[in-house]
């Protein structure tokens, strides 16, 4: 049998997943911003900042949902007394 995982390990895995998700989404946003800046906006910097912020915000929202599942829209936490 596998040994039970401790709560510190679970939190550490969530933090690692959040950090990796942040780096990927902010990087994709940065890349999309650079492409949009070069092609569409005459090399202005605001598309880069905007799209990087969108990626970071999406990663933050995903991380918030992983640490606090009660904040997912349409879900409800049922207490043990309500189940009976």
**Number of domains the chain is built from:** 1
Residue 73 located in a structural domain: no
Separation between Cα atoms, residue 6 and residue 20, nearest integer Å? 21
Show the domain range for 34: 10-68
Query: pLDDT at residue 78 above 90?
Result: no
pLDDT digits (tens, 9 = 90+) for 5-53: 788 888 999 999 999 999 999 999 999 999 999 999 888 999 999 999 9
Separation between Cα atoms, residue 35 and residue 40, nearest integer Å? 8
pTM: 0.76
Q: What pLDDT, on a 0 to 100 scale, did the predictor assign at position 31? A: 97
Query: pLDDT at residue 77 above 90?
Result: no
The CA–CA distances, whole Å, from 81 to 55, 75, 77, 78 equal 40, 18, 12, 8
Helices within the chain (DSSP H only): 7-39, 46-67, 80-83
């Amino acid at each position: 049998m596998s040994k039970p995982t401790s709560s510190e390990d679970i939190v550490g895995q969530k933090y690692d997943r959040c950090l990796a998700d942040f780096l990927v989404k902010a990087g994709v946003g940065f890349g999309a911003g650079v492409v949009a800046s070069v092609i569409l906006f005459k090399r202005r910097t605001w598309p880069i900042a905007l799209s990087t912020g969108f990626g970071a915000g999406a990663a933050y929202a995903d991380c918030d949902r992983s640490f606090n599942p009660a904040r997912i829209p349409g879900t409800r936490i049922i207490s043990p007394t309500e189940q009976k």
